[in-house]
Structure 1
Amino acid sequence: MRSVLAVLVALCLVLAGCGATTTPGDDTRTVNPALRGTPTPSPTPNAAARPPGVGESEVDVRALVAAHRDALSDRSVTVTLSRTRTSDDGTVVLDTAVRSVSDPPDQFVESRVDTTPYEVVGNGSLDTAVWRNDTVSVRRSDAGEGSVSVVYDTDVPQQRLFGPTGAAEIRAVLGPYTLTPAGTVTENGTRYRRLVDAAAGRQRVPLRSNVSVELLVTPAGVIRTATVSYRTAEYEEPARVTVRFAVRNVSRTTVPRPNWAAAALHNES
């Protein structure tokens, strides 16, 4: 009677899918028929794919900037770069901003420089705008007090122009620093790699202290935002410098042709 009960119990367990018959070293398993054909869920990635130049603990800035340039090459894009220097008493000593809108081969760049009285360039502002394509460049400068000039040029050296992707400009900003990965950040449904200064808290750049560096980078290597802030004694008095870089409207940027640029092109034709 006991043997009959034992057989019945074992049979019930197998039919219910609760039992498995194995022998040492045998990987054969009994699978619940109700689960057959159910797809195995893919593992959820814990972090965004590493951008080019970004390793587990180190960052090759040159490779990262090259990837940034390549990813944005031949795409329309808006790039901004600003630099503010503020003295300890709150006076903004220098405030510069550059905005580039590009849809190759057309590009429009406008820049602004505001200074305080004791700067070498004097008290006031200097506004400059450039519209260009692959053959000509038209530059408008406004030094204040009604002083406006428009220059038509067919041979403007590239080094005088803000790059369409901002690659050279952000490379110069990041030059003094060593970066390291610091996890990921999700903004508006997009996950970015976060990079920071590896020497945070230690003075490794002469005349600069309290350094803070943060970048948000896409898996393709586009540097969406970069913020660098530090105290410095490089100038006449101690000040804090803050640099901000941003990429916006990728593949959604249009390039206006200002009236003054159109007039200059018409006059030269």
Structure 2
Amino acid sequence: MRRILPFVLVVCVVLAGCNGVFGTESDERTPTLTPVAVPTDEPTPTPVPRLAPGLTGKGVVNASALAAAHTAAFENTSFTVRQTVVYRAENGTSIRRIESTTRVADGRFRVTRRWNESTTLQQVEYYDDSERVLVATTRANDTTTYRRLSPQAVVAQRSSVLGAGSGRIETMFVAAETRVANRTDRNGTTVYRLVPAVARRETSNTATVLDRSVSVRAGVTEQGLVRNYTLTQRLSGDGADGATTIVVSARYTAIGATDVERPTWYGNALAATDATASNRNETNPRPTTAG
């Protein structure tokens, strides 16, 4: 059986399978049979050719291998990720939309995330200057506040961003079954187009149950780079503001041609966060010791 778990960044599901255990029946009533010769050579199963790390013609067979190859494809290079998260009602109406752009270069990143529809948030930006990660939050009343991420949060944020979202990709392909629909070759690059496959679960009476709560469409290169994907999740109950479906789309672009520019609010953020740190130190001065 499979159980529902939360998905990173959006309310998604992971279907974790449980292996069944098969026993043997008693042979007390089995009549004695005359032994026959048993062939020692068993037929070798026809191997399924590998199209990319973790990917065969049957679809993604090893999500961890594909996610690792995806991360390796971005080592020592710059890239941009554009992502859209849409919450939809039963009739397909958009309830909330979140658009984000992540730029990575030289071990630094800048993330811009914008909200619309029913939310007080307008925009949140993260900027990594190699020493600190500053955050600018703008709300619906046009007020902007600044803060710094804690050292622990910086480590986690850098690991997630610089890893090109490999954790999300692994979870996604664990949750949804796919098959290879076709392939395209352009400018010397082969891309395999993945579409949803019917996910089946075995029940106690060995019947099969169709599971269409999560589906994925994606484009994967021979090297294992997931160039784009669209994840659709059907919620079992009402989500945010009555949403019944979440659609997450992402595309990786400007690979090797991305710059991380300093935002215009950088100076204001430094001044505001330095002042906050200074006030905190004056209120709670650190103890000094005689040398």
Question: TM-score, normalization: structure 1?
Answer: 0.68
Q: Per-residue deviation at 1:154?
A: 5.8
Q: Per-residue deviation at 1:148?
A: 1.1
Counterpart secondary structure, 2:269: helix
Equivalent in the alignment of 2:29: none
Superposed CA offset, 1:46-84 (max 9, x none): xxx822111232421111111001110221000122211
Counterpart secondary structure, 1:131: strand
Equivalent in the alignment of 1:228: 231
Equivalent in the alignment of 2:65: 63
| Pair 238,148 (structure 1): closer, same or farther in 2 beyond 3 Å | closer
How many residue pairs get aligned? The number is 212
Q: Per-residue deviation at 1:167?
A: 1.8
Are positions 1:258 and 2:260 aligned together?
no
The letter of the residue matching 1:242 is: V
Q: Is the radius of gyration larger for structure 1 or structure 2?
A: 1
The letter of the residue matching 1:169 is: R
- Is the CA contact 1:77–1:251 (under 8 Å) kept in the aligned structure 2? yes
Equivalent in the alignment of 1:144: 140
| Pair 160,143 (structure 1): closer, same or farther in 2 beyond 3 Å | farther
The letter of the residue matching 2:211 is: R
- Is the CA contact 1:76–1:102 (under 8 Å) kept in the aligned structure 2? yes
Superposed CA offset, 1:84-133 (max 9, x none): 111134432221222100102221001123343xxxxxx43341100004
The letter of the residue matching 2:177 is: T
**Residue of structure 1 aligned with 2:210, choices 203, 226, 236:** 203
| Pair 95,172 (structure 1): closer, same or farther in 2 beyond 3 Å | farther
| Pair 148,264 (structure 1): closer, same or farther in 2 beyond 3 Å | closer
- Is the CA contact 1:107–1:131 (under 8 Å) kept in the aligned structure 2? yes
Equivalent in the alignment of 2:178: 179
- Is the CA contact 1:82–1:98 (under 8 Å) kept in the aligned structure 2? yes
Identity of aligned residues (%): 21
Give 5+ residue unaligned stretches, structure 2: 1-49, 201-208, 276-291
Give 5+ residue unaligned stretches, structure 1: 1-48, 117-122
The letter of the residue matching 2:231 is: V
Task: Compare 92-101 and 228-237 and name the one that shifted more.
Answer: 228-237
Task: Compare 231-240 and 69-78 and name the one that shifted more.
Answer: 231-240
Equivalent in the alignment of 1:97: 99
Task: Compare 138-147 and 148-157 and name the one that shifted more.
Answer: 148-157
In 2: Cα distance, 1:192 partner to 1:68 partner: 13
Are positions 1:72 and 2:74 aligned together?
yes
In 1: Cα distance, 2:134 partner to 2:127 partner: 5
Q: Per-residue deviation at 1:176?
A: 1.2
| Pair 232,187 (structure 1): closer, same or farther in 2 beyond 3 Å | farther
Counterpart secondary structure, 1:203: strand
